[in-house]
Amino acid sequence: MKSRKLGNQGLEVSCIGLGCMGMSFSYAPFPSESESIALLQKAVEVGITFFDTAEVYGPFSNEVLVGKALKPFRNKVKIATKFGFNIVDGKMAGVNSRPENIRKAVDGSLKRLGIECIDLLYQHRVDPNVPIEDVAGAVQDLIKEGKAKYFGLSEAGANTIRKAHAVHPVSALQSEYSLWTRQHETEIIPTIEELEIGFVPFSPLGKGFLTGAMNKDRKFEAGDIRGVIPRFSEDARVANQALIDVIAKFAELKSATNAQIALAWVLARNPMTVPIPGTTKIHRLIENNAAVEIEFTKQELLELTAASEKVKIIGSRYTEAQEAATGL
């Protein structure tokens, strides 16, 4: 596995990371602990060095799982986690990035992960009630204390990114980005490129849709957030199949799978971009990793981008309540 830099402060990770959320949060049914540990350790074996979790995934259980699985490989991997929510009775209860809550969250994450220092510490969602300068200052203090190494933001806007970066360098921005979610290209991506901040796209496979394995008859189990997302309604899936058809043509051209084409497109957008597709299956992990070997000519990339832009995507990426509460 090749590596890439995230930001210019020294963070370097594998070209593709692993999003761990779905092993215990949002995409039920969940695999057993032993299955998840086997997958996480296989990921290390095949060259992945970048693992993404958060205190709210579970809540808490995902960090425990990741810490347990990666304990034997601590010197080989980079672990990213996130703060920024109130957690009440085991559920998210609004954003909270007050400095005292950041410190409490980080101490809890360190304990659950079984580590002394968090490699990449993200603010999970912007808190409108706390100036981002205060957030950056609190993270800077934690970095000085050795509890974190690098600072990241998630789903933040351009102005917020600039203000935070002026207080303490931001190494990475994590936001949703894929062939069917591209709103950040207008302002946010140009901003992070200007500031030399790395980009970590989550859901680069469109929560599984871009793989082509999800037809109109797919039924989502209770606990799978896709069951209520407008973009995954039966009508939307039928309409959005046009994008799958575009991807499939390039997959045939490159002797690749749809997932590999979708990931290769994300990887080709910028050399400081590291997508973090999630999976609970080892064969999908291997398939996703192979995307790093796919190279587009300049013309092929232009053609794929142009063809995908002709498809009108139906359905919003979240319900209004999900967008307001978590934006996951």
Name the amino acid, one letter, at 131. Answer: P
**Angle (deg, nearest 10), helices 158-167 and 132-144:** 40
C-alpha torsion 179→183→184→187, nearest 10: 140
Tokens, residue 239:
């309409």
Taking the C-alpha atoms of residue 317 and residue 263, their distance in angstroms, rounded to an integer, is 19
Residues 6+ apart with CB under 8 A from 132: 123, 126, 156, 160, 163, 164, 167
Q: Tell the burial category of 34 from Cβ atoms under 10 Å away from its Cβ (0-12, 13-18, 19+).
A: exposed
Strand partners, 80: 52, 120
Which residue in this structure is represented by tokens 């307001």?
A: 324
> Would you list the DSSP string of 209-255?
GGGT---TT--PPTTBGGGT-GGGSHHHHHHHHHHHHHHHHHHHHHT
**Which one of the listed residues 27, 57, 122, 177 is annotated catalytic?**
57
Taking the C-alpha atoms of residue 54 and residue 82, their distance in angstroms, rounded to an integer, is 5
Does 150 participate in catalysis according to the annotation?
Answer: no
Neighbours of 159 (CB within 10 A): 11
Mind telling me the catalytic residues? Answer: 57
